[in-house]
Structure 1
Amino acid sequence: KAFEQAAGFLRIRDGVNPLDGSAVHPESYHVVDAIAGDLRCSVPDLMQDETLRNRIDLTEYVTDTVGLPTLNDILKELAKPGRDPRERFETFSFAEGIEKIEDVQPGMKLPGVVTNITAFGAFVDIGVHQDGLVHISQLSDRFVKNPNEVVKVHQKVNVTVLSVDLNRKRISLSLKKQSADK
């Protein structure tokens, strides 16, 4: 039983059945075979020829066990077999060589990630063990009443370091365009 459930997630490239390299579950192979038979073509032809796929009336293949949503998924998979259904993932990395607060200097422009938002500003992780603060007055070139209007938690930002207080372990940052131009 476990294999039957997992089979839909396995991809076998250059397998015996061309559907083995797709996300079509083996339990639905018979549906694709029926569609190909009705169109008088092979399964590989169906996968490669958009005009053939456009002739398919999915409602003819709806049964008690295979619904229209499943048939739509099968059709999408036939068009792009083996596609990754996940959204694109953007990688993020902190500035190289900036690992501790002593490495941070005023005027540096650094990538960061918003970690917390308060009434007085936003805290940004810049890759050192101490988050920096973008005071509400430094969030934008315009007046900001509520920091949530400008930034969101987990948002990637580019900040300019205004000051570093090593004794109090505080880093002041800015998102203002003017600070970035200086």
Structure 2
Amino acid sequence: KPGRDPRPAFKTATFADGIDDMKQLMPGMQLEGTVTNVAAFGAFVDIGVHQDGLVHVSRLADRFIKDAHEVVKVGDVVKVRVLEVDLKRKRISLSMRKDGGAAAPTERAPRENGNDKGGSGRSAPARPAPQGALGAALMDAFKKR
């Protein structure tokens, strides 16, 4: 049929009314946008203010992702939350996480032995491991110095 387009319906983001400049953006705003570029460090999203915002790879999903391409691709319509607007450098920081974007710092309980430092939990051996004849000769040579 000549009058029918076989392609699927074209989806576009509906930009928020009254927001057409970076100065009108406020942290916490929820907006809809279109992914314009995907890089190793995140995805750039057009939210209708003539400046794309960046969703860092750590803020693309609530779970760990190795590559931004796992979650989004160019042309996807996504919902984002404004985290920060830097008018001087013309940068918009966005998040797609459901928890608000910022990872809450986790409080760790102190260890039983009172040591807050990380590590494998193993202590250093009390005596050196057994060695061959060459190792013993070297040890003797260094002791004589």
1:154 pairs with 2:75: yes
Residue aligning to 1:20: none
Number of aligned pairs? 101
Please report the TM-score for the alignment, with normalisation by the length of structure 1: 0.51
* Contact 2:12–2:34 (Cα < 8 Å) also in 1: no
Any stretches of 5+ residues in structure 2 without a counterpart? 102-145
Residue aligning to 2:35: 114
Correspondence for 1:135 among 45, 56, 77: 56
Name the CA distance, whole Å, in 2 between partners of 1:160 and 1:178.
10
Say which SS state the counterpart of residue 65 (structure 2) adopts: coil
Residue aligning to 2:128: none
Residue aligning to 1:61: none
1:173 pairs with 2:70: no
Hey, which of these two has a bigger chunk of strand by percent?
2
Correspondence for 2:24 among 88, 103, 111: 103
Tell me by how many angstroms 1:90 deviates. 3.4
Name the CA distance, whole Å, in 1 between partners of 2:68 and 2:7.
31
Alpha-carbon RMSD: 1.9
* Contact 2:40–2:68 (Cα < 8 Å) also in 1: yes
Say which SS state the counterpart of residue 133 (structure 1) adopts: strand
- CA shift digits 1:9-63 (9 cap, x unpaired): xxxxxxxxxxxxxx48xxxxxxxxxxxxxxxxxxxxxxxxxxxxxxxxxxxxxxx
Say which SS state the counterpart of residue 58 (structure 2) adopts: helix
Residue 104 to residue 142, structure 1, CA distance change in 2 (3 Å): same
Tell me by how many angstroms 1:91 deviates. 4.5
Task: Using the aligned pairs only, state the percent identity.
Answer: 61
Hey, which of these two has a bigger chunk of helix by percent?
1
Residue 84 to residue 154, structure 1, CA distance change in 2 (3 Å): closer
Which amino acid is 2:20 matched to? E
Please report the TM-score for the alignment, with normalisation by the length of structure 2: 0.64
Residue 91 to residue 172, structure 1, CA distance change in 2 (3 Å): closer
